[in-house]
Amino acid sequence: MNSFETINSRLQLIFEVNTSEPTNGDSMTKTKSFNNVSPDATNEQLLGIAHAFASLQSHTLEAVRRNDVVLLSD
């Protein structure tokens, strides 16, 4: 019987960074990562936390990512 267990999660907030230097139409981003997030946290909870952190930043929140590490075993 196969087993799948989420053993770790990471929350990443990607911010659009406006610079005074001209770019070729590409926006620059900055990522803030939070490691060791509880695997039991729901996506809705993490999105709420991301918006709370983003409200404290001067840059615009562009995206929120959740990266899970899953242990696969037979």
pLDDT value at 67 more than 90: yes
6-40 pLDDT, tens digit per residue, is 999 999 999 999 766 666 666 799 999 999 999 99
Neighbouring residues of 22: CB distance < 8 A, sequence distance ≥ 6 = none
On whether the pTM is more than 0.85, the answer is no
pLDDT value at 72 more than 70: yes
Mean pLDDT taken over the chain = 91
CA distance 54 to 61: 6
The predicted structure's pLDDT at residue 19: 65
